[in-house]
Amino acid sequence: MARATILVFMGIFWVALFTLFAVAEEKEFSERSQQHLSEIHDDLYEVVFLARLMSKVPFEVTDGLRTIEEQRDYFNNGFSTTMNSKHLEGYAVDLVPIPVRWDREAFEPIAEAMKRASDMLDIPIVWGGDWKTFKDYPHFELRERPNDSRDVNDGGGADHSSTSVFDGFVEVPTKQSGPRA
Flag whether 121 is in a domain: yes
Flag whether 47 is in a domain: yes
pLDDT at 172 over 90: no
Encode pLDDT of 34-62 as tens digits.
Answer: 999 999 999 999 999 999 999 999 999 99
Query: Is pTM beyond 0.85 here?
Result: no
Flag whether 150 is in a domain: no
Encode pLDDT of 138-147 as tens digits.
Answer: 999 998 754 5
Flag whether 160 is in a domain: no
Q: In the prediction, which pLDDT does 12 show?
A: 59
Residue 153 — pLDDT band, cuts 50, 70, 90? very low
Flag whether 12 is in a domain: no
Residue 148 — pLDDT band, cuts 50, 70, 90? very low
Flag whether 20 is in a domain: no
Flag whether 162 is in a domain: no
The total number of structural domains that make up the chain: 1
Give the CATH number, domain containing residue 88. Answer: 3.30.1380.10
Listed ranges 9-18, 67-76, 148-157, 164-173; the one with the highest mean pLDDT: 67-76
pLDDT at 28 over 80: yes
Flag whether 82 is in a domain: yes
Q: In the prediction, which pLDDT does 134 show?
A: 85
**CB 59, CB 112: distance < 8 Å:** no
> What does the pLDDT average to over 83-89?
93
Q: Which domain does 82 fall in, by range?
A: 30-142
